[in-house]
Structure 1
Amino acid sequence: MADGLKLGLAGIGTVGSGLLRLIEARRNTLASRAGRPVEVVAVSARNKRKKRDVDLSRVRFVQTRVKLATDPEIDVFVELIGGEAGVAKEAVEAALRAGKHVVTANKALLAHHGASLPALAEKHGAALNFEAAVAGGIPVVKVIREGLQGNDISRVYGILNGTCNYILTLMEQEGRGFADVLKEAQAQGYAEADPTFDIGGFDTAHKLALLTSLAFGTRTSFDAVYVEGIETITPADIEAADDLGYRIKLLGVALRTDSGIEQRVHPTMVPKDTAIAEVDGVSNCVAIDGDFVGDVMLIGPGAGGGPTASAVMSDIIDIARGHVLPAFGIKAKDLKPYKKAQMRAHEGGYYIRLSVHDRTGAFAAIAQRMAEQKISIESIVQRRPRSSVGDARAAVVLVTHQTTEAAVRKALAAIERDGHVDAKPQMIRIEKL
């Protein structure tokens, strides 16, 4: 058997500890599958003395992550620190310059530096693998980069953040408000003390930027992603979606059009009879539309120590086997510049909820504002949310036919100026899947 593959592990949190346990539990099996032994020989973390539930007695502790990245005894630098800049970026760059292979779970780093880091890896003959950066234990990077290379992909979309999916699931199942469910998610460890990164849609946007580059062969362009979170979703919206035959999910959607690439993250109404509508709790889901393969959907655990460590290990085994590919499937110099798609009509239409004052002429004025923007209305109903017993207010719910977001926003701004609503209008896209 070949010489062992020696790993330097930066970050011994949930995923790092999970990786150490996986290697210990599967040592012989991993050696057989990789064709050589795999072992962690050195680690680095912010706090050496912190109590951990893994045995570190047989590995060296290196004081700084950057020093570990260039340690002469390691072959692979495993970066589980996180963050788009700072020590994570410095350490990964140092490792690549030293010709060390890099395995990372850091979606923010790659979403912001997805052009320079792959080029640096190729220059020094090193791998830059990131299966764990997107959808946890779901092997979507390999599926797109290797399994679907014979296809022309037109769309990739999915549920990419388990925290948001968990919150929306509980809001629907238990009829509770967003703030109440968020507190529970934090108490159970599904949401951070500062949950903005998750509930604001930014975590999903980082992952979507990586999927876009993999699917369409473009340079990463996180800044081009339209991002909207779930903070404004109410029980009234979830009840209305149910009545209309939909469920609300936070989706990341990347779509290739004739004018360029469209990337967007936002709450979405999806038909109840679709597979993605059934993905509940902290699970993730990624769907890929290819011209020859058709529609592919992958569902599984999107986070957690075990699933994410599983993804990290798959990248390590590839390196052990000598299987080194460009990070995004094609050489960095061949990645096309990102071209943002021109604005176009959204095929699925929009759900709009208005809290309208009970006064003569309000409905007529709302209809007039919609007509001014050439928005065709599929349905309009006045409904009282099931969860608001005793509340005298009634919501007006409109569903539009295909139209542009600009037209909808102009109409809603005019309706607000007219003074016929007592709260900011709610708008949610309806997606054709």
Structure 2
Amino acid sequence: MSAPPLKLALLGCGSVGSQVVRLLREQADDLTARVGAPIELVGVAVRRPELQRDAEVPAELLTTDAAGLVARDDVDLVIEVIGGIEPSRALILAALENGASVVTANKALLAEDGSTLFAAAEKAGRDLYFEAAVAGAIPILRPLRESLAGDRVTRVLGIVNGTTNFILDKMDTLGSGFAEVLEEAQALGYAEADPTADVEGYDAAAKAAILASLAFHTRVTAADVYREGISEVSAADVASAREMGCVVKLLAICELREGPDGPAVSARVHPAMIPRSHPLASVREAFNAVFVESEAAGQLMFYGPGAGGAPTASAVLGDLVTVARNRLNDVRGAGESAYADLDVLPMGETETRYHVAIDVDDRAGVLAQVAQTFAAHQVSIQTVRQEGHGDDAQLVVVSHRAADSALAATVDTLRKLDFVHDVSSVMRVEGDF
């Protein structure tokens, strides 16, 4: 005989929340068997109860009083899928203070103020789980948080935003420009009417902060993550990558590196060229993938749908089963691990490689002066390709790894040379080719 029902409150009932309701209803018997007790949905907080939703929600469960719902004495579990900073933060803190265990998909809040949430969960002796906050249905946070807890993760490299991956994939396969493909992505529902959070890298930066925090046991916020979006990526950039056997992807890159005072964390989000032989190069459409490197396990790759109501709800329900079991057994799962407290390196101290396209006068000595400019900034050139265009020429240079500040200074100097008409493309390069 199973234990008495655990009472669940759901905050938000949009594309994810409505799918949570559907899965709770359709899989009720299985969830009961897995948890050891029924999960009873006792309230759903929404802003507009009159809206039509993807899943039927009994009208008597809907409420606009989210604060009152999480304050109920009989609520054991809370799922937050509202998003944003407030009122989500206040509601999660209130739920924990009231004794509920919490599952959230709120990447922005975790990346901005996760330490406050973890401290509240610790004080309350309750769980805070958040698998759905990064890469939708892909199980990546729990492996970092638990499965690899006995290993030393050295690098996390990922495609964690489906909208930008869809756009860059179409630019690569169709040869289209950014604006054209963005319009298609909006028409298909992959991009919001205001796509800023996606295309300017804010969404990916929040996820990178969470990944870096878990991988390196250090508090990393979104503000610590260097960020560039894809709005400046041109069809010419993508074509140049293709000529080099590469593809352009928006990457979240979190690394353990040697800083001035010992081991440090580097966390960045930016478009980069990667060889088509790299596992991430084959990630198409709106899919996500995360590549993890660790000392003992080696290289691991996690791949799947990174967004969408049903995939994200799957991750939410996975966390719900865990926190519900823990609640029945009066135990807690893994909390925050920030014991390493490493410094986060500024972008200028991070080692990268550049692909630089330079429009120059087509005359003797120009290539030598360009090479001298790189050398003056202690940057070594790996490859150079020259194409003639009448009286002008284009030099395409790929550097070896160097401090990003040195590479940026090289580009600034190149722009000022009298024989340089334009530095028409600057993009970082990841991987060996």
TM-score (norm 1): 0.92
Match of 1:426 in 2: 425
Structure 1 range deviating more: 370-379 or 132-141: 370-379
- Rounded to whole Å, the distance in 2 between the matches of 1:51 and 1:241 is 45
C-alpha deviation, 1:71, in angstroms: 2.3
In structure 2, the CA distance between the partners of 1:282 and 1:391, relative to structure 1 (3 Å rule), is: farther
Aligned counterparts of 2:26 and 2:392: Cα–Cα separation in 1: 59
Map of 2:154 onto structure 1: 154
Q: Say yes or no: does 1:24 pair with 2:25.
A: yes
Which whole-Å deviations, capped at 9, do the CAs of 1:75-106 have from their partners, x for residues lacking one? 111111111x2211111111111111111000
| Inter-partner Cα distance in structure 1 for 2:222 and 2:36 | 38
Structure 2 CA distance for partners of 1:391 and 1:172, relative to 1, 3 Å: farther
Map 1:305-320 → 2, pairs under 5 A: 305-320=309-324
Deviations 1:106-138 (A, max 9, x none): 001011111111011110111111000011000
Aligned residues of 2:3 and 2:37 also touching (Cα < 8 A): yes
Would you say 1:272 and 2:276 are equivalent positions?
yes
- Residue among 282, 301, 307 paired with 1:303: 307
Q: For residues 143-200 of structure 1, what are the alpha-carbon distances to aligned partners after superposition, in whole Å with 9 as ceiling and x for unaligned?
A: 1111112211111121110011100000000000011001111111111111111111
Distance in 2 separating the partners of 1:345 and 1:314: 36
- Secondary structure of the 1:114 match is helix
Q: Which amino acid aligns with 2:102?
A: V
Q: What is the alpha-carbon root mean square deviation over aligned residues?
A: 2.2
Runs of 4+ aligned residues of structure 1 deviating over 6 Å after TM superposition are 390-393
Question: Is there any run of 5+ residues in structure 1 with no aligned partner, and where?
Answer: 385-389
Q: Check whether the contact 1:118–1:326 (CA below 8 A) recurs between aligned residues.
A: no
2-side partners of 1:208 and 1:409: how far apart?
Answer: 23
Residue 41 of structure 1 contacts residue 59 of structure 1 at CA under 8 Å; is this kept in 2? no
Task: Report deviation, 1:305.
Answer: 0.6
Q: TM-score of the superposition, structure 2-length normalised?
A: 0.92
Q: CA deviation at 1:351?
A: 0.8
Q: Is the partner of 1:78 in helix, strand or coil? A: strand
**Separation in structure 1 between the aligned mates of residue 15 and residue 165 of structure 2, nearest angstrom:** 20
The 2-side partners of 1:280 and 1:33 are apart by 34
Q: Residues 355 and 423 of structure 1 are in contact (CA less than 8 Å); yes or no, is this contact kept in structure 2?
A: yes
Q: What is the one-letter code of the residue matched to 1:50? A: L
Contact 1:220–1:338 (8 Å) recurs in 2: no
What is the 5 A alignment of 1:243-254? 243-254=243-254
Q: Give the share of equivalent positions with the same residue, in percent.
A: 39
Query: Which structure 2 residues correspond to residues 71-90 of structure 1 after superposition, within 5 A?
Result: 71-83=72-84, 85-90=85-90
Amino acid at match of 1:305: G
Q: Distance in 1 between matches of 2:308 and 2:314?
A: 10
User: Following TM superposition, by how much is the alpha carbon of 1:336 offset from its aligned partner in structure 2, in angstroms?
Assistant: 3.7
Shift of 1:356: 3.6
Indicate the structure with greater strand content. Answer: 2
Query: Following the alignment from structure 1 to structure 2, what is the Cα–Cα distance between the partners of residues 421 and 97?
Result: 62
Q: Aligned residue pairs: how many?
A: 422
Moved more, 124-133 or 45-54: 45-54
Q: Secondary structure at the match of 2:395?
A: strand
Q: 1:416 to 1:74 in 2, by over 3 A?
A: same
Instruction: Please give the alpha-carbon distance, in whole angstroms, between the structure 2 residues aligned to 1:276 and 1:269.
Output: 11
**TM-aligned CA deviation for residue 344 of structure 1:** 4.7
SS in structure 2 opposite 1:86? coil
Q: 2:70 & 2:199 partners in 1: Cα distance? A: 33
Question: Which residue in 2 is equivalent to 1:387?
Answer: none
Structure 2 unmatched ranges of 5 or more = none
| Residue 189 to residue 394, structure 1, CA distance change in 2 (3 Å) | farther
